Amino acid sequence: MRKTSKKYRRTAHAVGLAHVHMVWIPKRRKPVLVGEIKVRLGQILNEVASEKGWLLKAIEIAPDHVHVLVEHSSDVAIHEIAKALKGRSSRLLRQEFPQLLKLPSLWPRSYFYDTTGAISTAKIMAYINDPHHGS
């Protein structure tokens, strides 16, 4: 086995490194992710990831969409990541910001995801962190 500088995640039966790039929008693509809502959303997403043992390697919150790059273990299904991040953020944001109750839900059920390899992970991080991307 060759030496590598990567920090692999280990479970009882697997060793590996998994990343998923996820994007989702507010219901009806309303530009509501601004100001205090944007700040609080970032806090919530980081809290959920930390509790679950995931690492948010990159996050970008534009007024009308969210990008995250999540490092996770092999025993986590992608739909579980989406459910955890979107579910808690929707519940808490709608409790804390009553103006969001005007939407029938904060997030639609859909989302985009793409799994990444080592090279594409770096490119996706650069894309998400590019100050010219989004608003």
Banded pLDDT at 78 (limits 50, 70, 90): very high
Q: At what angle do helices 35-52 and 78-96 cross, to 10 degrees?
A: 140
Q: Per-residue pLDDT tens for 37-52?
A: 999 999 999 999 999 9
Which residues, listed in sequence order, are joined to residue 19 by a DSSP beta bridge? 71, 116
| Residue 12, pLDDT score | 83
DSSP letter for each residue of the chain: --------EE-SS-EE-EEEEEEE--GGG-----HHHHHHHHHHHHHHHHHHT-EEEEEEEETTEEEEEEEE-TTS-HHHHHHHHHHHHHHHHHHH-GGGGGSS-SS-S--EEEEE-HHHHHHHHHHHH-TTS--
When the pLDDT of each residue in the chain is averaged and rounded to a whole number, the result is 90
Rounded CA gap, 104 and 102, in Å? 6
Q: Per-residue pLDDT tens for 89-124?
A: 999 999 999 999 999 999 999 999 999 776 677 788
Bigger pLDDT: 82 or 3? 82
Q: Per-residue pLDDT tens for 19-31?
A: 999 999 999 999 9
Is 69 within 8 Å of 130 (Cβ atoms)? Answer: no
Banded pLDDT at 6 (limits 50, 70, 90): low
